[in-house]
């Protein structure tokens, strides 16, 4: 097995790391006031980060999933909000359009999304259909040459700033999950409104909104895939999304560890740096081991996807483990900082708040365990 990144991946990591350094300016203010990083998202588009896995023919960067995971990790070390904006756009929107969209849909929607000119959002969750994706109450009634969409979606990342939305909705109630479809909806369509922004614990500069649909007329050609393909579309998309969230969690953990390590060498107690105390050394050693294990799980899931091999279980394993490592590592980083870790200036309290959501979205930790268990028991 090859554990060394090739030259292209190393160069990509350095480019992402350099860009991430620019994110640090204003990151505390963006977090405190929930300011969407519009200019940075634009820069990510110019650097190719907003279309990483899309073919160059559709204005993407033509990179692989491993490169994508590396970039998400580096960016999330500094600003997990920017990381999740990029992750949702790439994993949940562009992947589905490229894999299952028609040529006309790719020309009209994929190209501007992959180039970063437009931003995408994926709408699956509902007030009564979060982890249970089969219980879609948003409906899309077939009217011949168009569908009428009615319902509500919530917890939608990029919900307020997106231009193009992929909406999961029920067309044939009697068919249950086999009657679900996915539709491309544009901001500004009549009857489509965006609810207030959620006031969140973490990833605060990433905007999260509810979406409301009242007789939204969507052309027939905006349905992706055959009639009833929506549930399979969502499940396939979420598998890849879990790799993105694992990479985000990994970045949060690694960022907190870097800060804790540096602080432990500067802070002195009893006449010597706290890094020379065994209690701190044990914490740092455990953090390093768990972060490296999370990185290997995440990179393996990405590699499997790139090889065209099954990766659903591995993506769930990576997401589960990396998110728990992120939570544990950030708590320990705050502890190593002591009282300073509790104030915004030292960044670790923000990373701790950001870490929690990685255990929740793209399926909670309990859902990941179900996915893993079903795979190993089948």
In order of start, what are the domains of the chain with their CATH numbers? 7-119 (1.10.540.10), 121-230 (2.40.110.10), 237-377 (1.20.140.10)
Over residues 218-243, the mean pLDDT reads 96
Query: What pLDDT score was predicted for residue 134?
Result: 80
When pLDDT is cut at 50, 70 and 90, the band that residue 131 belongs to is: low
Distances (CA, A) of 290 to 234, 283, 349: 30, 11, 20
Q: Which residue has better confidence, 2 or 174?
A: 174
Over residues 107-117, the mean pLDDT reads 98
- Choosing from 74, 290, 314, 362, which is the catalytic residue? 362
Distances (CA, A) of 203 to 82, 84, 236, 252, 332: 8, 8, 25, 11, 19
Q: Given CA atoms 103, 106, 108, 111 in this order, what sign does their dihedral have? A: negative
The overall average pLDDT reported for the chain is 96
- Tens digits of per-residue pLDDT, 188-212? 999 999 999 999 999 999 999 999 9
Given a cut of 90, whether residue 363 has pLDDT beyond it is no
Over residues 300-306, the mean pLDDT reads 97
Catalytic site residue 362?
Answer: yes
Over residues 302-307, the mean pLDDT reads 97
Given a cut of 90, whether residue 3 has pLDDT beyond it is no
């Amino acid at each position: 097995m090859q554990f060394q990144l090739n030259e292209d991946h190393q160069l990509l990591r350095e480019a992402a790391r350099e860009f991430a350094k620019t994110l640090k300016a204003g990151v505390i203010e963006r977090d405190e006031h929930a300011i969407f990083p519009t200019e940075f998202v634009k820069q990510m588009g110019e650097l190719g980060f907003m279309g990483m896995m899309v073919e160059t023919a559709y204005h993407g960067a033509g990179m692989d999933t491993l490169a994508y995971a590396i970039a998400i990790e580096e960016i999330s070390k500094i600003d997990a909000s920017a990381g999740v904006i990029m992750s949702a756009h790439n994993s949940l929107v562009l992947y589905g359009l490229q894999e299952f969209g028609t040529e006309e849909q790719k020309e009209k929607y994929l190209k501007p999304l992959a180039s970063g000119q437009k931003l995408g959002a994926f709408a699956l969750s509902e007030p009564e259909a979060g982890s249970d994706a089969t219980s879609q109450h948003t409906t899309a009634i077939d009217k011949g040459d168009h569908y009428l969409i009615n319902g509500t979606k919530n917890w939608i990342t990029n919900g307020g700033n997106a231009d193009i939305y992929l909406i999961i909705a029920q067309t044939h109630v009697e068919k249950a999950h086999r009657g679900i479809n996915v539709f491309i909806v544009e901001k500004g369509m009549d009857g489509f409104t965006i609810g207030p922004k959620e006031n969140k614990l973490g990833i605060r500069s990433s905007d999260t909104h509810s979406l409301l649909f009242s007789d939204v007329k969507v052309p027939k050609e905006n349905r992706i895939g055959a009639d009833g393909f929506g549930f399979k579309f969502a499940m396939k998309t979420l598998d890849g999304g879990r790799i993105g969230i694992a990479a985000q969690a990994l970045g949060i953990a690694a960022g907190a560890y870097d800060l804790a390590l540096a602080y432990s060498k500067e802070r002195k107690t009893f006449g010597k740096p706290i890094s020379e105390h065994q209690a701190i050394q044990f914490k740092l050693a455990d953090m390093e081991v768990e972060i490296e294990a999370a990185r290997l799980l995440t990179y393996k899931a990405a590699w499997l996807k790139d090889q065209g091999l099954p990766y659903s279980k591995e993506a769930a394993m990576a997401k589960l483990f990396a998110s728990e490592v992120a939570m544990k590592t950030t708590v320990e980083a705050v502890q190593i900082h002591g009282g300073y870790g509790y104030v915004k200036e030292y960044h670790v309290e923000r990373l701790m708040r950001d870490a929690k959501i990685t255990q929740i979205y793209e399926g909670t930790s309990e859902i990941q365990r179900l996915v893993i268990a079903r795979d190993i028991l089948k």
